[in-house]
Every structure is written in structure tokens, then in C-alpha cells.
A = this chain, B = another copy of it.
């Protein structure tokens, strides 16, 4: 998997800025919207009771961490999602979680086995 090339412009570790971007509910709503297709700044601003500059600042956060791409055409800026960056965060979580669940499955299997000497075919 070649998901290690993140477009991060924050100086921080890529995961820092991606998760940071995802913490804000306004930004998550924008991401959900952009996953349905590209949109202009005004389109994205419409659902929120917030000044335009605030919206633009959120979009900058999303662009700086690589979650979205934007391009200005005429006087309209078109914003689109970058799925690879969503997947990047997703992959970290999955890689993190998997060994934990395997451990717990083994533990569960051990506890459920009435046979006290049950060495669960070596997996360490």
C-alpha cells in the first residue's frame, strides 16, 4: 500500500494534522458534504451560521492536511475530497486496533475453554 505520500503542509506529523482537522464538527460536516461531490466555498458555507472567513479558515485546515484539494476557477473556488487521506487515517486506526482485538479474541477463547491446559496454537 502506497499511502505514505501525504500532502501535509503543517510542519507536524501528517497524522497530527489529519486527526486535528477531523476534530471539528463543522469540518467533518464539510467532509461529508464533499464526499458526495465537489462544491464551492459558498455551497459549503450555506448550512452554517458562521461568517465566510471562518468557513475559509476551516477549508484551509482541511487543505493543509491534505484532506481536500481546492482550485480557483474564475471567482469560484472549487473544493473536492481526497479519499486517500481519509484512508490514511483509517489505515492507522485499523493497524492499531487489529493486534488488540486478536489479543482479546485469544483471551476470550482461553477463558471459554474449560480445559485449563489449552495452549492456543502458538501465535506470539
Residues of A in contact with B (beta carbons under 8 Å apart)? 13, 15-16, 19-20, 22-25, 28, 31-32, 34-37, 81, 83, 86-87, 89-90, 93-94, 96-97, 99-101, 103-104
Contact = CB atoms under 8 A, between A and B. Distances in A.
Contacts of A97: 35, 83, 86-87, 90
Contacts of A103: 35-37
Contact of A32 (B13, B25, B28, B96): B96
Contacts of A31: 96
A20 B24 CA distance: 8
Given A32-B96, A83-B101, A90-B94, 14 more contacts: A13-B25, A15-B22, A15-B28, A16-B23, A16-B25, A31-B96, A35-B99, A35-B100, A35-B103, A36-B103, A37-B103, A86-B97, A87-B97, A90-B97
Given A23-B19, A100-B81, A90 B87 contact: no
Given A16-B25, A25-B13, A90-B90, A36 B99 contact: yes
A58 to B, nearest CB: 14
B93 A93 contact: yes
